[in-house]
Structure 1
Amino acid sequence: MKIEEIYQCYLQCTSVNTDTRKIENNTLFIALKGENFDANTFAEEALSKGALFVIIDDKKYHTDKKKMILVSNSLQTLQELAKYHRQQLGLPIIALTGSNGKTTTKELINEVLSKKYNTKATIGNLNNHIGVPLTLLSFTEDTDIGIVEMGANHQKEIELLCSITEPDFGYITNFGKAHLEGFGGIEGVIKGKSELYNYLEIYRKTAFVNLDDEIQNEKTLQITRYSFSQKAKSDIKIDSIAANPMVIIKYNKIETQSNLIGLYNANNIIAAITIGKYFNISDIDIKEAIENYIPTNNRSQLIEKNSNHIILDAYNANPSSMTAAISNFIQIEAKEKIAILGDMFELGKESLIEHAKVIQLLENTQIETYFVGKDFFKSKIEKENLHFFDTYENFEKNFKTVNPKNQKILIKGSRGMALERTLEII
């Protein structure tokens, strides 16, 4: 069956799904395969739960020729269907990637643009080769602007996502030490993320650029761009940035007080301001959108518990974001401070070196710091205020005896460390 015919089936459905646990009536169910699962085996179940059509790629499960669409590769069909749908809609799409801050920036952009337009953005962090197509297929004729987050942990992944999404605009938050193992080092990160720039240049699209980032500036010299800066001549000139701990941005004589913690969030906010200005959102609407945005899902949340003020940033961590969070925490004015830091994953052969660098950031401070995880433990040093635990369980036993009061507490680690559990013992 040609993609045009499959598209006609898609148009009869109200949603697209790859998980039988979330099947709704009139869903298009796409059976994907993984290392440990084969959703083809659930094709009949999907129909029984209300799916209108099912796409499968294993003919032995092709038991209903009217409602089951047999293809050679379900994942490839999902991606082709998403691309075809994007082309039929023809709406402007903003793509963004980067080492840190993608999801926060995406949400801020969505908040700002939704003041004037009917926008739709990536839900959560569904930003990979499956999530991006599903995001595109959620766009409708009523969508004015689409905002697509793109994640990657190896070369050519952003290139693939661009070929599916065909973005009209692009923004790279930064180039940091994330997924070093997959990219093969920081140069690999720069090359991989810049695949978005390559697409924008080839197809003569527009990049949003932070001119204060030397790499962004250099990589976009041949691209049509709309820029922001605190220092250089740019389309959007930022007057000042402050944080203690919430970020305050001043531009065009307007002061915007955000609910985001730390200077490392400043560029995320400024990018949303810049993109808002490009799409003719008024200054007052931009200010209101940013000031009303409250982060969730363990991303730079400020929580008060038992007299303690907690910065919960436990959604993810890499050397760049960890360094930024610690630097900001050191600058926060408070007599008593505790840092609880979890291992950073996917760093490959650089892992122990990068964990040791993080420890060095706190070596000469008075901050009581608890390092949790095997790589921090392997890199431990002897210092009275630095405490090392190879497992969360060992940390938990110790920390239950601390009973902190009136403290500023930073909690940060990779998602796999699940350090939000610490809230239960504070």
Structure 2
Amino acid sequence: MGMSVKEIVEATGGRVLSGAQDVTFAELFTDSREVKPGGLFVALRGEQHDGHVFIPQAVERGAAGVLCERPPQGIDGAAVIVVEDTRQALLDMTAERLRRRPLPIVAVTGSAGKTTTKELIAHLLGRRQRVHKSEGNLNTYTGIPMTIFEMDPRDRVLVVEYAMSRAGEIRELANAAPPTIGVVLNVGLAHVGFLGSIEAVAAAKRELVEGLAPGGLAVLNADDRRVRAMSAVARRFILYGFSAEATIRADRVRLHGLDGSSFTLLTPRGKAEVYLRLPGHHSISNALAAAAVALEFEFDAPAIASALHGFIPPSRRMNIVTGRNGATVIDDSYNASPGSMQAALEVLRLAPRGSLRVAVLGDMLELGDHAERAHDEIGSLAGKTADMLIAVGEYAPRMVQSARRAGLAADRALVVEDADEAVAALTPWLNAQTQVLVKGSRGMRLERVVEQIREPA
């Protein structure tokens, strides 16, 4: 569906400098390397790069339009729209898009579990209506406008992640696209390096609750005290979790190792037995959040249970794959924070008796002054949940030292330089009894370990 040149000018207060004015753009891009023919390229100024430098490359790749602050030189063919501030223009276009095509918006935030929960919600709601969801890591002030820009007339609900790296960022997004339902999963140390303290992280996440549309519902984790406290600023809220005060609750929980879990789902609209193919206690919590959203869309407990049973996790999030020589690989390599790292190690702990449990762990980034302590704590937990630790990154020595203090033998707690060395250290141990967890922050690119040790398809 996209937007036309005229609609963009009206939304942003910009002016058309050159090019055709009767063009409609189906897609929006902020990275010149990803531009597709017929798309609109938005030139953003960042701390490291200025998108205006890449306007010629975007046009060369087929951009039919350019939204910029400074008129480019020597650009032929593409419609050029000049605005005062391209970042603000993105938000203005998003607001205008939703004004013309209002849809319920389900927004998910939290320090860990956002993508999996977003996918769970989209999977549940998709049983009854067409869902448009944010893809990959399109969860920031650029990604959410891109997602909303590309809505289809057949879409009936939007499901998106609201991520942030600074205070006020979620508020800006919520002003442009006020959520009908806001889900807050947890508050942890992820991004604390940008914000300074866990209290500041909580305040930044609370912006989602404060920015809900009139009559909007806050879905809050009853088991996280900082999240539960956000109910004080919510006009309407519902609690989910394991604690007795949760309205959406899991009872009679049984963990089945890497095969998943089962539990009784308790809701105001009945109860049902759920089998979830995602391993770990934290996965049940994410499923409960999704269940709370589905209730608002008139699902009952049996319908939720049926949908949850068919859910398959997104790539590199708790994927169980077969490795070389029959080893089992837990591919959770997409990203890492202290909370998600702890949850992943608890899953590794569930490996069958007699297994060799190996944790291949990379640095957790963006932790600021909390980094050393956080890596010490994860190393200590690895020493108690794994039989072998292979650590990569700046903080690898700290994790290894902590693991050894927790009881791992010196020759079972290793520091390696990169993914290739991790594979070399791991390879002799790969057999049918080996269970390997691979996890680290996105910047560590530990998916390269998985690619080298998994059984070829």
- TM-score normalized with structure 2 length: 0.84
1:101-250 matched pairs, under 5 angstroms: 101-200=113-212, 203-223=214-234, 224-245=236-257, 246-250=260-264
Aligned partner of 2:414 in structure 1 is 388
Partner of 2:25: 13
SS at match of 2:422: helix
Residue of structure 1 in register with 2:358 after alignment = 338
Equivalent of residue 277 in structure 1, options 276, 286, 295: 295
Which of 344, 354, 374 is 1:325 aligned to?
344
The Cα offsets for residues 295-317 of structure 1, whole Å up to 9 and x where unpaired, read as: 23211000122221221111111
- Name 1:367's counterpart in structure 2: 387
Equivalent residues of 2:26, 2:150 under 8 A apart? no
* Counterpart contact for 1:16–1:29, Cα < 8 Å: yes
Q: Is residue 319–residue 358 contact of structure 1 (8 Å, CA) maintained in 2?
A: yes
Measured on the aligned residues, the alpha-carbon RMSD in Å equals 2.8
Q: For residues 201 and 183 of structure 2, what CA distance do their matches in structure 1 show?
A: 15
Per the TM alignment, residue 2 of structure 1 is displaced from its structure 2 partner at its CA by: 4.1
CA distance in 1, matches of 2:50, 2:233: 45
Q: 2:90 aligned with 1:78, yes or no?
A: yes
Distance change >3 Å, CA 145–CA 29, structure 1 → 2 = same
Q: Distance in 1 between matches of 2:145 and 2:78?
A: 25
Alpha-carbon separation, structure 2, partners of 1:59 and 1:52: 15
Separation (CA, whole Å) in 2 of partners of 1:179 and 1:265: 22
Q: In the alignment, does 2:441 pair up with 1:414?
A: yes
| Runs of at least 5 residues in structure 1 that lack an aligned partner in the other structure | none
Match of 2:101 in 1: 89
Identical residues among aligned pairs (%): 28
The aligned amino acid for 2:262 is: I
- Contact 1:212–1:232, Cα closer than 8 Å, also in 2: no
Contact 1:112 1:281 in 2 (8 A): no
Residue 371 (structure 2) aligns with: 351
- 1:51-62 equivalence runs, <5 A: 51-61=63-73
Q: Distance in 2 between matches of 1:81 and 1:359?
A: 46
Shift of 1:212: 3.3
**What CA deviation, in whole Å up to 9, does each residue of 1:138-175 have, x standing for no partner?**
22433211112111122222112212211121011111
Cα distance change of structure 1 residues 400 and 250 upon mapping to structure 2, 3 Å threshold: same
Question: Which amino acid is the alignment partner of residue 361 of structure 2?
Answer: L
Is the 1:170–1:197 Cα contact (8 Å) retained in structure 2? yes
For structure 2, list consecutive stretches of 5 or more residues without a partner in the other structure.
1-8
- Residues 144 and 307 from structure 1, CA distance in 2 versus in 1: closer, same or farther, beyond 3 angstroms? same
Distance 1:414 1:47, change over 3 A: closer
User: Residue 244 of structure 2 aligns to which amino acid in structure 1?
Assistant: A
